Structure 1
Amino acid sequence: QSVMHLGPAGELTVTSPLTEQAIVDNSTIAGWIMTFSELYLAYRMVLDEDVKILLLDRSLSATLNSLTTDTSRRSRWEEELSILGLEIDGLRLDKNDLAYARHHIVNEALGLPPPRGDYLRYALVLYLQRSRKAMSLQEICEGLGILGSDRVRRAEVYLEKSVKEGYIRKTGNLYEASQRYIGTWDRIRKLVDGIGTQLFEGKGCNPMKIRKGENYEWLTTRDVAFLSLFCFQALIEESWRRKVLIIGITKDTTATDFKAHLAPLCGNEGIWPVDAEGLRAVPSTDRMLLQAMSVFAYEQIPVPWSLIEYDTAFQTIVPDFKGRKGYISGGRRNRISRERLFLKSYVQLDQSARDPRLRSNVLLIDRLAFPDYDADKVVHFKQEYGGAEEPVDVLLYPDRDVTNEIQNLVMVLLSSMGARSIPEVFGHNKPLFIADKIAKAQRRKFSGIIEGTALWLMNSPRLRSFCFYMNTFRERREEVEYARRR
C-alpha cells in the first residue's frame, strides 16, 4: 500500500509503502525508545560514573550499521523528523547537519574516517574543518595520503559536491570549511543531551514533545532513530577520550563472515592454509562451525577459548572479483564498511564439570578498537571502487602468537562473570542476564498498562466509531475469530 503526501510544491506524490498502523499510532516507538534508553544510559555512565569497562547486550558493529541504515532515507526527513529545524545555539538544524553527523566517527590515530569509498567526502570535510584554513586540492590530498591521479580526481569531485551543498567554500583554487557547519557535531551532542535529559530525567511537560519556535511537536520514530545513532557515536567518542573499553556480546548469531569471507580471503593471500573444498562442506554459520569443532576436538581445545580477533569490516569484504592477490572487493555493490573501528571474535566460556564435551554456546564478541593497542595490527589491501584504486587497511590478529593484551583482558573478565548455578547463564554473562531480566519485567509491567488504556479507549462510546475505522479489516477479523474460539 502506498501513502500519499504533499510534496514541496503542494502536489500529491506517492512514497514507498508504509503500514497504516505505523502512520497512525507510531507503533514501533516503544522499541526505539528502549534502544535509545540503553545507549543513553551507557553514554551517561561513561560521562558521570568513570566506568572503564562497559558491557552491552548487543553487537556494536551491527547496531551502528542498523542505525545508519534506518536514518538513511533523506527524501523522507522533512515529513518524518521533528528535530529538523530545531534551533540549537541560535542555528536551526538542517539536512546538511544531519547528513554530516550520521557519519561523525573521528579518530585521527586510527585514520577515521578513512579517505576512501563512500567515506571520502566526510574525510575531506573533516580534514578542512580541523585545518581551519584554505587549502589547495594538492595540499588536501597530501594531508590525507590520497595518491594517484584517479583518487585525486575522485577527491576533486567530492570537494566540488561539498561546495554546492554548502559544507565547503571555494575561493579561486582554494577550499575552506564553511563556518556554518564547523560546530555541527557540538550542536548534535547538545541535542542528544537535551532530549535524553527530557525523556529520562525531566519532569512536568510531556517528554515526547519538543518545542520549535512557538509550537510543540511530537517526537517520531525516525527522530528517536537519529538520536540513538548520535548517542552511540557520542558514546564511542567519549570511550576513546576516556579510554573506556566497550564490549558487545551477542548470544544467538547466524553470522557467516568468518567462514564465508575471512577464511577464503586469508587462504587466497597465504595468511592461513585453507582447504577451500573442505570449507564449503562444514556447517553453514560461524557459531555452528566453531561449536562443532569444539565438541569433536574437545581434548585439543580447552575451555575457555577465543578465536583470533579481526576487523568487523571483513563482514562486507570478499575475495577480489578478478581473483588478483592483494586485492579485495565489497560483498554488496562493491561497498566495504568503515574499517579500524571494531574488532570481533567468538568465545566459548564454560563446560560441564562431569562431561567435557558438554559445553556452552559460542558467543559473538565485538569491541572498540584502540590506537595504542591495535593500530599496528594492519593488513593492507587494495580495492577498485568508483574508477580508482584505493587502499583498504584492516585490523587482523592473524594467529595466537601475536600478542593481544585487550583480548586477554576480555577473556579473563568474561570467564569470571558466569554462573553455573543458573542454567540460563551457563557460559554467558550473569550481570547482562540480570539486567535483561529486569528490563523485560519492566516492559511487561508497562505493556499491561498500555494495553489496558488501549482497551479503555476502544470501549469509550465517544471514540468507538473512530477506533472502528482506524483498525484494518484483518485486525477486526482476528478479534472476531479470537472471540469465537473462546
Structure 2
Amino acid sequence: MNTSHGPTSYLDFSLAFILGSGKGYIPPRGRYLPFVAIHRLLKVGECSFRELIEDLGISERAGRSMLKKLLKMHEDSDGRLFAEDFNPEDANPTLKIKGQVKDYWVRVKETSLMIVDRIFGSYEHPLMLGDDSWLTVFDLNAVNVMLIHMLREKVIDGRLLIIGIAKDTSASDYIRAVIPYARHEGLIPEDEKPPNLRHDRAFLTILSSVNSHLFNAPWRTISYDACFTTLVEGDEKAPLRAARQLISMERQFVKAYFQLREFKSDLGVRSPTFLYDRFYIPSVDDKFHAEITAIEGRKKVKISPYWEGEGENPLDTFILRLLLKCDNPEVMEAMGHNQLLYLADKAVKNEVKMIKGLLRGVADLELGGLSRRQKIFTIARRFRDIRREVEGARERAVMEEK
C-alpha cells in the first residue's frame, strides 16, 4: 500500500514486528541480534563490523553469525536494507543502512491505520483490498500487532497508562517459573514445597482464603516480566529454562495477580483472583530487573527481565489502588472485578448473540434453497441443529395455541 513515505514493504513489517517504534528494549541475544544491530544502525547510519560488535557487547563469533542473518534479510528484501552489499567473511566490512529504511515505522503505522479505517469506517467490503485481494487472518493479526506497538509507543512517551485484566486465564507461569525463581533468590525458603496445582488463579485464591490472616485484601503478587510465561524451573546449572526451546522478548509486558475484596463477616470468603498486565515503561521499570542465566535450546543465555523482587514498584501499587476504586461490591458477580469491563462484557455478549441470529438467518436463506435443490438438506447441517430448531418451533406453536 502507498503511504506518504512510499509503498510499504515486507521488510517494513519484519522490522516493525520486533523493533516497533524503536523506543523499546530489544534483547541482544539469539534471533533478536540482527534486529538489535539494525536498531543501532538506524541511529548511527553506518559503522564497521568491529565497532558494531563492540557497541552490542557480543563476541566475534556471534557477530559473524549475525552478519550472515543480516545479509539474508538484505537479499530477501531485494536489496532494500543496506546501501551496499557486503561480504560477511571480510575482516571488517562496513554496514550502511539505506535512507528509506529509517521511515519503516511511519509507513507501517499509516498502512495499519488505513486498513483499520477501511474495516470500521468504510461502506465498501471491509475484508477486500481492491477488486481481487482479500485480507487474510494473517493480515489482520499483523495489523493487531502493529496497533499494540502504537499503544506501546504512547505509553513509553508518557501519555497513557494501559491496564489489561484477565478474568478467565488458565496460566501457570507463576507456579512453574516465578515461584521457583523466587525460591532461588531467597524470597521463599528453599525447603518450601511447590504447590501441586497447575493453575495460578486457583492456587492464589485457595492460598489467600486458607491464610486469610496473612492476606489482607486488597493485595497483589510481586509484578514480573511476561517472558516468564515461556520459562520453567531449571536445574543447578541455570535456575530457569525455556519451556519450548525459545524465550520470548523480555521487558515488553509486566504481569501481576490481584484480589480486591473480602467479606467483613468471614475473611475466608473473597472475591476471585484476577490477573492484570501492562506495558513495560522504561522510565519507571528500569530500576526493577534481574540478570538471569537461562537455558534456551541447548545454550546458556543471559536474560534481563523485569523483576520486582524484594522492592516495591510504586506504579503497581498505584494500579492496585486504582482497580480497587473501579469495582462494584454491590453486585455479587461484579465484586472484585472491574465495573466498566463487566458492563462492556455484558454489552458485547448481547451484540454477539444478536449478530449470531442475523448471520444464521442469512446462512439459512442462502443454503436452504441449495440444499433443497440438491436433496442434501439433512447433511448440509448438523442433525442436532435441525432437531433443536424443529423442537423449538413445535414448542412455540404449542404455546401460541394455549
Match of 2:126 in 1: 207
Match of 1:421 in 2: 330
Match of 1:153 in 2: 64
Do the aligned partners of residues 485 and 352 (structure 1) sit closer, same or farther apart at CA in structure 2, a change above 3 Å counting? same
Do the aligned partners of residues 386 and 182 (structure 1) sit closer, same or farther apart at CA in structure 2, a change above 3 Å counting? farther
Match of 2:237 in 1: 324
1:454 equivalenced with 2:370 (yes/no): no
In the TM superposition, residue 106 of structure 1 has moved relative to its aligned partner by 4.8
Gaps of 5+ in 2: 88-92, 393-402
Do the aligned partners of residues 355 and 387 (structure 1) sit closer, same or farther apart at CA in structure 2, a change above 3 Å counting? closer
In the TM superposition, residue 465 of structure 1 has moved relative to its aligned partner by 6.7
Which structure would you say has the larger RCO, counting Cα contacts within 8 Å and 6 or more residues apart?
Answer: 1
In the TM superposition, residue 484 of structure 1 has moved relative to its aligned partner by 7.3
Q: 2:381 aligns with which of 475, 478, 481?
A: 475
Distance (Å, rounded) in 1 between the aligned partners of 2:331 and 2:48: 64
Gaps of 5+ in 1: 1-85
Distance (Å, rounded) in 2 between the aligned partners of 1:422 and 1:478: 37
> Pairwise mapping of residues 46-445 of structure 1 onto structure 2 (< 5 A)?
86-89=1-4, 91-106=6-21, 108=23, 112-132=25-45, 134-144=46-56, 146-165=57-76, 166=79, 167-168=81-82, 169-171=84-86, 173-202=93-122, 204-211=123-130, 215-275=131-191, 278-280=193-195, 282-320=196-234, 323-324=236-237, 328-333=240-245, 335-383=246-294, 390-399=301-310, 402-445=311-354
Do the aligned partners of residues 393 and 274 (structure 1) sit closer, same or farther apart at CA in structure 2, a change above 3 Å counting? same
Q: Write the letter of the residue equivalent to 2:221.
A: L
Instruction: Compute the TM-score of the two structures, normalised by the length of structure 2.
Output: 0.85
Contact 2:20 2:149 in 1 (8 A): yes
For the residue of structure 1 that corresponds to 2:291, the secondary structure is strand
In the TM superposition, residue 209 of structure 1 has moved relative to its aligned partner by 2.5
Report Cα offsets for 1:47-102 as digits up to 9, x if no partner.
xxxxxxxxxxxxxxxxxxxxxxxxxxxxxxxxxxxxxxx34347544433333332
Q: Write the letter of the residue equivalent to 1:142.
A: E
For the residue of structure 2 that corresponds to 1:183, the secondary structure is helix
For the residue of structure 2 that corresponds to 1:428, the secondary structure is coil
Distance (Å, rounded) in 2 between the aligned partners of 1:464 and 1:447: 21
Report Cα offsets for 1:205-240 as digits up to 9, x if no partner.
3333223xxx35332333222211211111111222
Contact 2:34 2:67 in 1 (8 A): no
Distance (Å, rounded) in 1 between the aligned partners of 2:389 and 2:288: 63
Aligned residues: 383
Q: Write the letter of the residue equivalent to 2:18.
A: H
Q: Write the letter of the residue equivalent to 1:455.
A: D
Q: RMSD over aligned Cα, in angstroms?
A: 2.8
Do the aligned partners of residues 189 and 351 (structure 1) sit closer, same or farther apart at CA in structure 2, a change above 3 Å counting? same
In the TM superposition, residue 409 of structure 1 has moved relative to its aligned partner by 0.9
In the TM superposition, residue 387 of structure 1 has moved relative to its aligned partner by 8.0
Distance (Å, rounded) in 2 between the aligned partners of 1:415 and 1:379: 29
For the residue of structure 2 that corresponds to 1:170, the secondary structure is coil
* Structure with the greater alpha carbon radius of gyration: 2
In the TM superposition, residue 105 of structure 1 has moved relative to its aligned partner by 3.0
In the TM superposition, residue 379 of structure 1 has moved relative to its aligned partner by 0.8
Instruction: Compute the TM-score of the two structures, normalised by the length of structure 1.
Output: 0.71
In the TM superposition, residue 474 of structure 1 has moved relative to its aligned partner by 7.5
Contact 2:371 2:380 in 1 (8 A): no
Do the aligned partners of residues 227 and 93 (structure 1) sit closer, same or farther apart at CA in structure 2, a change above 3 Å counting? same
Do the aligned partners of residues 119 and 474 (structure 1) sit closer, same or farther apart at CA in structure 2, a change above 3 Å counting? farther
Match of 1:8 in 2: none
In the TM superposition, residue 255 of structure 1 has moved relative to its aligned partner by 1.4
In the TM superposition, residue 464 of structure 1 has moved relative to its aligned partner by 4.5
Identical aligned pairs, as a percentage? Answer: 24
Contact 2:177 2:240 in 1 (8 A): no
Report Cα offsets for 1:110-142 as digits up to 9, x if no partner.
5x121212222222222212222x211121122
Distance (Å, rounded) in 2 between the aligned partners of 1:318 and 1:472: 50
For the residue of structure 2 that corresponds to 1:283, the secondary structure is coil
